[in-house]
Amino acid sequence: MNYPFVRHRRLRQSAAIRGMVRETVLTVDDFIQPIFVTYGSGVKNEIPSMPGVFHFSLDTLEEEVKEIVDLGIPAVLLFGIPETKDAVGTSAFVDNGIVQEATRVIKKRYPDLLVVADTCLCEFTDHGHCGMVHTYERDGHVCGDVLNDESLELLVKTAVSQAKAGADIIAPSNMMDGFVQAIRTGLDEAGFTHVPIMSYSVKYASAFYGPFREAADSAPQFGDRKSYQMDPANAREALREAESDVLEGADMLMVKPALAFMDVLRMLRDQFDLPLVAYNVSGEYSMVKAAAQKGWIDERAIVTETLLGMKRAGADIIITYFAKDMARWLREKR
């Protein structure tokens, strides 16, 4: 008797057949490589909590970007560490800001490489929050309330400045209410109607951001970001946040972090037809690197499986610090 279940097993016995019927495939075009840029000269400093990830000054940036281009990775995401910080994050929106200068360097040498500019104030404010803050003392402790509408004005200035410098995509990560509409209006009024917005639509107040905050020197100096980032316990709220961004004019939606929120990725994929971005964040990266250095896991196998999971859950684009590694592994596989 021919039992039907045997047919599934037959499809797995040949590597060639497995490849033909594989439902989810990673390609180098799926990835965006984040880069941390800073001031100075000759700077290429490895970030202690993120092995293999570096701070680059403008003069060392070209070598990194050349490697990314040679590997076929189509886009980079720029984060800047400024020379000076103040209460309103002025260095984020001045025309000679570090992200703006890095964008000009990249686009001059590699015009076809997509530059995604992270649009937030946390790296540029002396208090480490993503917007303007009204501070006060309570029981001997410094406290603060984020000023949402005032922050929007500064975020618009930042986005317009980044677009003027040549950024191909604006990626606002601040989670202020109404930020997509404000930035879309500001870009359009400045003549950048063609520049899309990759919205950090669903950004959780996550413990997975620790290494990034070291890399970007952006940890809050008081309080936390739970008043404007999402509670990790909430999934239905993600649909409301994403829908709001869609209505305000977002061109792409993002879920951050990705690994612990695969269900949210799938929910957004099922609900919206915009391109969906998964951010494989610093904590996810560092955990794998640390375990691999101990010899406890097979790094290549774990990374491949993790990124496949994100794409299978619905991601069209994956921002990952493993982008260069994956590009090399995919090339070797060919």
pLDDT tens digits for range 13-65: 777 777 777 789 999 999 999 999 999 999 999 999 999 999 999 999 999 99
- Amino acid (1-letter code) at residue 97: G
Instruction: Kindly report the average pLDDT of the chain as a whole number.
Output: 87
Please tell me which residue in 85, 157, 256, 324 is annotated as part of the active site.
Answer: 256
Q: Is 203 a catalytic residue?
A: yes
236 is in an annotated binding site: no
CA angle 55, 57, 60 (to 5 degrees): 100
**Mean per-residue pLDDT for 294-307?**
97
Quote the pLDDT of residue 211: 85
**Mean per-residue pLDDT for 252-258?**
95
Whether residue 187 has pLDDT greater than 50:
yes
* pLDDT band, residue 150 (cuts 50/70/90): confident
For residue 77, CA distances in Å to 237, 244, 298, 319 come to 27, 24, 27, 8
Whether residue 223 has pLDDT greater than 50:
no
For residue 190, CA distances in Å to 46, 76, 161, 181, 196 come to 38, 24, 10, 14, 14
Taking phi over 0 as left and psi of -120 to 50 as alpha, with beta for the rest, 295 belongs to left
CB 80 within 8 Å of CB 102: yes
Homologous superfamily, domain 23-333: Aldolase class I (3.20.20.70)
CB neighbours of residue 6 within 10 Å: 8
Quote the pLDDT of residue 178: 82
Q: Is 311 a catalytic residue?
A: no
Quote the pLDDT of residue 224: 47
69 SS3 class: helix
Whether residue 66 has pLDDT greater than 90:
yes
Whether residue 192 has pLDDT greater than 90:
yes
213 is in an annotated binding site: yes
152 SS3 class: helix
Q: Which of 3-12, 63-72, 235-244 has the lowest mean pLDDT?
A: 3-12
**Mean per-residue pLDDT for 286-297?**
96
Note the pLDDT tens digit of each residue in 71-90.
999 999 999 988 887 766 77
Please tell me which residue in 85, 157, 203, 324 is annotated as part of the active site.
Answer: 203
**Mean per-residue pLDDT for 186-207?**
94
120 is in an annotated binding site: yes
**Mean per-residue pLDDT for 256-282?**
96
Note the pLDDT tens digit of each residue in 87-143.
667 778 789 999 999 999 999 999 999 999 998 877 777 665 565 565 556 666 655
225 is in an annotated binding site: yes
All residues at 6 or more sequence positions from 105 whose CB lies less than 8 Å from its CB, including other chains: 58, 61, 62
Percent of the chain with pLDDT over 90: 66
Quote the pLDDT of residue 222: 45
Quote the pLDDT of residue 8: 66
321 is in an annotated binding site: yes
CB neighbours of residue 292 within 10 Å: 16
3 is in an annotated binding site: no
Distance CA(264)–CA(202), nearest Å, equals 9
Give the pair of three-digit tokens for residue 243: 């829908």
